């Protein structure tokens, strides 16, 4: 499942070829992804200009000149390929690129190309999704915040309003572990298994610790909450930076693995030595709520 840094990397890869460009033609190769595509999908896109490409949690949000927002989610296995349209040279895009494909491998099988956007920028943008958990919806901008998929989404971890006080408030009365709390999209948006494990390791906090210990009895943030917020922001910034650099690396354009995985400190590193300076622990894997958690039982408390 792509997490926030991967979606942000995709956004940064698509923005130069989508923002300010018009949908000249839209091809649909099937009527649905995880949900049915809107009935008038093609009609509501063709001829419209993308006025901005944003992101909220793991959703890409393309604002259209019509007042609609094209909401896109990568699901488990979705990816976009950007190619230059034939007979229409584009100066910056020399070959096909797959923005954001930097940890999970992406399928090159054309049978899973479900939606193709032909843009006035000269880009052909293809959405490929073998497992079809992805999603594309059109929602009027004024209804977006009240949309059922949006209104439950918690704070953006890289936003200014996300701080220790906010995290402590969200966790104060939780009966769950820190791992479960951070994986809860209502507590903080966009984190998944990888970055929850990585952030907890950077903050030296055990994934099994009670989430409520981020707050004092009166609900104030403890120093742990401060450390954890800093760790979350740092790991996301680092991952986005690594993803961004992979966009410029043409060897990595078709589902090959990118850079940030080499920076994982605990994720997928069971049995390896803990990278915390001075720690002699070994990374362990446990299962929490059906998902693997990687952590160091020595320095994460
Ligand atoms: Zn350690």
The pLDDT value recorded for residue 1 is: 75
The alpha carbon of 209 and the centre of ligand 1 are apart by a number of angstroms equal to 15
SS3 (DSSP) at 171: helix
Residue 248: name the closest of 77, 135, 130, 99 by CA.
99
The pLDDT value recorded for residue 190 is: 93
The alpha carbon of 205 and the centre of ligand 1 are apart by a number of angstroms equal to 10
Extract the residue ranges of the chain whose pLDDT is less than 70.
86-96, 100-108, 244-262
pTM beyond 0.85, yes or no:
yes
Burial of 233 (0-12, 13-18, 19+ CB in 10 A): middle
Evaluate whether 130 touches 109 at the Cβ level (below 8 Å).
Answer: yes
Evaluate whether 274 touches 296 at the Cβ level (below 8 Å).
Answer: yes
The alpha carbon of 111 and the centre of ligand 1 are apart by a number of angstroms equal to 45
The alpha carbon of 207 and the centre of ligand 1 are apart by a number of angstroms equal to 13
Cβ atoms within 10 Å of 85's Cβ, excluding its own: 17
The alpha carbon of 290 and the centre of ligand 1 are apart by a number of angstroms equal to 23
CA 217 to mean position of chain CA atoms: 34
**Cα separation, 157 vs 220, whole angstroms:** 19
Evaluate whether 197 touches 294 at the Cβ level (below 8 Å).
Answer: yes
The alpha carbon of 278 and the centre of ligand 1 are apart by a number of angstroms equal to 8
The alpha carbon of 299 and the centre of ligand 1 are apart by a number of angstroms equal to 4
Cβ atoms within 10 Å of 151's Cβ, excluding its own: 9
Any idea what DSSP says for residue 210?
B
The alpha carbon of 282 and the centre of ligand 1 are apart by a number of angstroms equal to 7
Structure tokens belonging to residue 4: 């926030």
Active site residues: 2-3, 58, 291
| Residue where the block lists tokens 């929602």 | 139
Cβ atoms within 10 Å of 68's Cβ, excluding its own: 20
Beta strands in 203-290 (DSSP E): 284-288
The pLDDT value recorded for residue 250 is: 35
The pLDDT value recorded for residue 251 is: 37
The alpha carbon of 143 and the centre of ligand 1 are apart by a number of angstroms equal to 46
């Amino acid at each position: 499942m792509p997490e926030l840094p991967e979606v942000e990397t995709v956004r940064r890869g698509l923005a130069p070829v989508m923002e300010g460009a018009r949908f000249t033609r839209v091809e649909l190769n099937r009527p649905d992804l995880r949900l049915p595509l809107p009935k008038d999908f093609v009609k509501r896109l063709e001829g419209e200009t993308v006025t901005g490409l944003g992101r909220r949690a793991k959703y890409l949000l393309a604002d259209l000149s019509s007042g609609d927002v094209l909401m896109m989610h990568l699901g488990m296995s979705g990816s976009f390929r950007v190619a230059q349209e034939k007979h229409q040279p584009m100066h910056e895009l020399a070959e096909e690129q797959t923005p954001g494909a930097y940890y999970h491998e992406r399928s090159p099988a054309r049978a899973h190309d479900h939606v193709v956007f032909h843009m006035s920028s000269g880009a052909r943008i293809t959405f490929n999704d073998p497992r079809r958990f992805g999603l594309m919806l059109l929602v009027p901008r004024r209804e977006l915040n009240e949309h059922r998929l949006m209104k439950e989404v918690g704070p953006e971890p890289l936003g200014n309003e996300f701080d220790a006080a906010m995290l402590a408030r969200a966790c104060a009365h939780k009966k769950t572990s820190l791992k479960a709390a951070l994986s809860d999209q209502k507590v903080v948006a966009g984190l998944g298994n990888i970055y929850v494990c990585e952030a907890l390791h950077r903050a030296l906090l055990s994934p099994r610790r009670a989430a409520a210990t981020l707050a004092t009895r009166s609900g104030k943030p403890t120093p742990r909450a401060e450390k954890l917020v800093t760790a979350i922001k740092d790991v996301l910034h680092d991952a986005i930076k690594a993803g961004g650099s992979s966009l410029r690396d043409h060897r990595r354009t078709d589902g090959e693995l990118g850079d940030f995985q080499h920076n994982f400190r605990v994720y997928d590193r069971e049995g390896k030595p803990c990278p915390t300076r001075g720690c002699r622990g070994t990374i362990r894997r446990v299962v929490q709520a059906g998902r693997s958690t990687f952590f160091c039982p020595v320095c994460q408390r």
